[in-house]
Structure 1
């Protein structure tokens, strides 16, 4: 073996070294998530936000009440998070002292400040809860399973929806996470009000507690908004003059309206179930007054050319793996087209970018 190494050229050796670095980068990538979880669990974004200015390491560990022996550990964790753009390391002066390094919030960590208008910390709570992340330890077993079990079911013995209905803590994580993501959708919809023009009514299918529907109803007071979800989800939720909550099952029927909104819904289901949902949506917006209805979909289009950036593509592919735990999928342009054709609602639709990684799909019926 030693003599064989003599025949490796300098270029081949460089490729080996490059390959090793790339391998180790992904081998230890779990630290990205675990350090992020530590940061959120310790409320560090809130601590720095409340401080009103960048915080030194000494100020941070004092607030956290960290033992002296662990100060170095906090420093190393924060250095890693700063390298991953969760914090900026800046230099500040304090009275007559020398300049010191301090941690400042970035556009990323500002999204982790609980209580802010756009806070995604609940997404961290959900996705990094061991109950959910354990599903991905079962990918090998799942891929060889001849049945139709999801990775989540392989890990937990039941599907995610049944599990959530019986576990209030994880159900709260799920509801809080979807509500936090809806805040971002509302921000995006602020510049897309044209999609609601000419509509008199809209149904937000599987709309949860109505975070997005409330925004739509307040922004467009002439528009009758219905949040449609399972009876146990909408139970005891109060509406307003133009906002109401209706319980039901989207696989059975959907309330009639000019438009149906499906936000983050279809990526949770396989093609067969998506076709069933789309057909029910088509029935709901097909009216007798010769007025064209439409289905509004907010979801991911993996190969959307207008969002063709490596970091955005990576986020889309990661989200595709996230929904694989429940047999969902993110779709390419062709896969969306195939889905619409099989649901018989493909004749007139368009796809537009909505957020950094989300797209807006309008199907005209």
Structure 2
């Protein structure tokens, strides 16, 4: 996800997300747009013409857009490769716009301003997010419907991206599975995509009761509400897609122990599939490492979780009582980890 890396590196805090999103929608229609065009389309006063040009030239300089001079000598702007991924019209790639809009939301940015105060405190029980908003990330999400909707759309977007990649790589991990529980499976998009890609696979989405009860149900997918720290529905395989990085080592061990209780022995096909980052592993080592570390910082700020390297994953699996694991690097920044009881 080089997109995230560019936004973070180039001071995402002062780029107004709503305006940027609307500009991308305008440029995705295919024709380059001049500053006059953008002023008109966005209903921005003419007095802000120079200021909009400043922003557009900067975003072009850092590769978000591209700038060209028309035959009549007027500067016009179009989509660059990065911003093309934020549209629904870009071929052979799911739109990343909902995911990026979630990452750039001010509720996620504001806690960054608490870091200097947070580092001076010896108390580890409060995150910068909680300092900024007075609630944990999960309590805040449950109490703010608009933010919760933004979060769900971002995670659904990520599920589409992951499943799009799994059509081409990483398929072996899911072959031959009879039943699967997607823990923290949100609205069920991942489970539905897996069931479609692997006929005969029966999928259950397991999430918090209030989320499951309000989710729009997908035909063929079973929904079960509960607490992953207490008990999981039995299945051949438990899927944890981008779940464990939200939690401390102690909590991860508890979650993995519940997973181990829910699956059969290895010789009967039992395993846990973890889709998460393995820091230092990626298709482009330098770019991947940089973005993985940015996500590591994000987890520290939001939820007291972290991204883990292979040694840290190994320690978790051993502590939870698992016997072996296999890592397949195949989903950009993330890997598929098959964990065996």
CA-to-aligned-CA distance 1:40-60 (integer Å, 9 cap, x gap): 35x11111112x222233322
Stretch deviating more after TM superposition (151-160 or 141-150): 141-150
Q: Partner of 1:125: helix, strand, or coil?
A: helix
2:103 corresponds in structure 1 to 127
Distance of aligned partners of 1:361 and 1:29 in 2 relative to their CA distance in 1, 3 Å threshold:
closer
Distance in structure 1 (CA, Å) of the matches to 2:19 and 2:79: 12
1:80 corresponds in structure 2 to 58
1:180 corresponds in structure 2 to 157
CA-to-aligned-CA distance 1:236-293 (integer Å, 9 cap, x gap): 532423x211111111111111111111100000000000011111111125x95121
Distance in structure 1 (CA, Å) of the matches to 2:236 and 2:320: 19
State which of 312, 315, 326 in structure 1 corresponds to 2:288. Answer: 312
Distance in structure 2 (CA, Å) of the matches to 1:239 and 1:129: 28
Residues 48 and 55, structure 1, Cα contact 8 Å, conserved in 2: yes
> Is residue 49 from structure 1 mapped to residue 28 from structure 2 by the alignment?
yes
Q: Partner of 1:112: helix, strand, or coil?
A: coil
Residues 280 and 288, structure 2, Cα contact 8 Å, conserved in 1: no
> Is residue 108 from structure 1 mapped to residue 89 from structure 2 by the alignment?
no
CA-to-aligned-CA distance 1:216-254 (integer Å, 9 cap, x gap): 11112210011110111111532423x211111111111
Distance in structure 1 (CA, Å) of the matches to 2:198 and 2:124: 47
2:36 corresponds in structure 1 to 58
Distance in structure 1 (CA, Å) of the matches to 2:14 and 2:328: 34
> Is residue 35 from structure 1 mapped to residue 15 from structure 2 by the alignment?
yes
Q: Equivalent residues in 2 for 1:11-22 (5 A)?
A: none
Distance in structure 1 (CA, Å) of the matches to 2:16 and 2:278: 27
Distance of aligned partners of 1:145 and 1:126 in 2 relative to their CA distance in 1, 3 Å threshold:
farther
> Is residue 168 from structure 1 mapped to residue 149 from structure 2 by the alignment?
no
Q: TM-score, normalised by structure 1?
A: 0.83
Q: Partner of 2:81: helix, strand, or coil?
A: coil
State which of 257, 262, 268 in structure 2 corresponds to 1:284. Answer: 262
Residues 65 and 78, structure 2, Cα contact 8 Å, conserved in 1: yes
Tell me the C-alpha RMSD between the 2 structures: 2.3
Q: Which has the higher contact order (CA 8 A, sep 6+)?
A: 2
> Is residue 268 from structure 1 mapped to residue 246 from structure 2 by the alignment?
yes
2:67 corresponds in structure 1 to 89
Residues 180 and 203, structure 2, Cα contact 8 Å, conserved in 1: yes
Distance in structure 1 (CA, Å) of the matches to 2:81 and 2:16: 15
Residues 239 and 245, structure 1, Cα contact 8 Å, conserved in 2: no
> Is residue 355 from structure 1 mapped to residue 328 from structure 2 by the alignment?
no
1:213 corresponds in structure 2 to 191
Shift of 1:39: 4.2
Aligned residues: 329
Q: Partner of 1:108: helix, strand, or coil?
A: helix
Stretch deviating more after TM superposition (178-187 or 98-107): 98-107
Distance in structure 1 (CA, Å) of the matches to 2:317 and 2:206: 22
2:3 corresponds in structure 1 to none
1:336 corresponds in structure 2 to 313
Distance of aligned partners of 1:39 and 1:67 in 2 relative to their CA distance in 1, 3 Å threshold:
closer
Distance in structure 1 (CA, Å) of the matches to 2:14 and 2:327: 36
1:67 corresponds in structure 2 to 45
Q: TM-score, normalised by structure 2?
A: 0.89
Q: Partner of 1:178: helix, strand, or coil?
A: helix
Residues 204 and 225, structure 1, Cα contact 8 Å, conserved in 2: yes
Stretch deviating more after TM superposition (126-135 or 194-203): 126-135
